[in-house]
Chain A
Amino acid sequence: EVLLVESGGGLVKTGGSLRLSCAASGFTLSSYSMNWVRQAPGKGLEWVSKISPSGTFLYYADSVKGRFTISRDNAKNSLYLQMSSLRAEDTGMYYCARVLTKMATIGNFDYWGQGTLVTVSS
């Protein structure tokens, strides 16, 4: 069974940093591109970042570019999102999500974790 479990969320002050983790099981992480998607309270979905299977190619939404860094450790079956210079508008649920097709850089997201909540407040 494919399982994605996020952790690392919490309350952080404006300007602070946080590192999110996503533990993957039930599939070979190194064969799939992965993404982070967030959702502000009561709002819609916003794509944040994606990483290719080997970690070579990284992409970011304009809203987080220069502040967030996506990475992965395939040997540890883990995906990460390092967030810095956090703002109030970064508050929300953060989901990791797997791309549908093996070894593809691009694809819709077929498995999602349950999310980890990040709250940024002064």
Chain B
Amino acid sequence: IVLTQSPGTLSLSPGERATLSCRASQNVGSTYLGWYQQKPGQAPRLLIYGASSRASGIPDRFSGSGSGTDFSLTISRLEPEDFAVYYCQQYDNSLWTFGQGTKVEIK
């Protein structure tokens, strides 16, 4: 499968709402749809698994939704530490695929 994330870059101000999209090239369900955050020089961090479950320690301003081929990650109110690159991940046919990433930058 191919995961296409949009937009490529999102320019927003702290306190604003961010909505990131991840579209799959075919329907593979939501059981293993994940979202990760990566900051420069750091390893990725799991935010959301199973499309909508928050990982341990993740603030409730992060939420995931979607099913089928269309998924989204919403950050309700951007905090300064949320400016980073976000990747979606999906599993199909014994292989994992990541989207190309969405950069959330300070406007």
Contacts and interface: CB of A to CB of B under 8 A. Distances in A.
Asked if A and B are interacting partners, one says yes
Interface of A: 35, 37, 44-47, 50, 59, 61, 95, 100, 106-110, 112-115
A115 B41 CA distance: 10
B32 A44 contact: no
A115 B43 contact: yes
B95 A44 contact: no
Interface majority SS (helix, strand, loop, mixed), chain A: strand
A47 B44 contact: no
Contacts of B91: 106
Interface of B: 32, 34, 36, 38, 42-46, 49-50, 55-56, 87, 89, 91, 94-101
A44 B43 contact: no
Contacts of A35: 96
Contacts of A113: 43
B55 A110 contact: yes
14 contacts: A44-B99, A45-B89, A45-B98, A45-B101, A46-B98, A47-B89, A47-B96, A107-B32, A108-B46, A108-B50, A108-B55, A110-B55, A110-B56, A114-B43
A45 B50 CA distance: 19
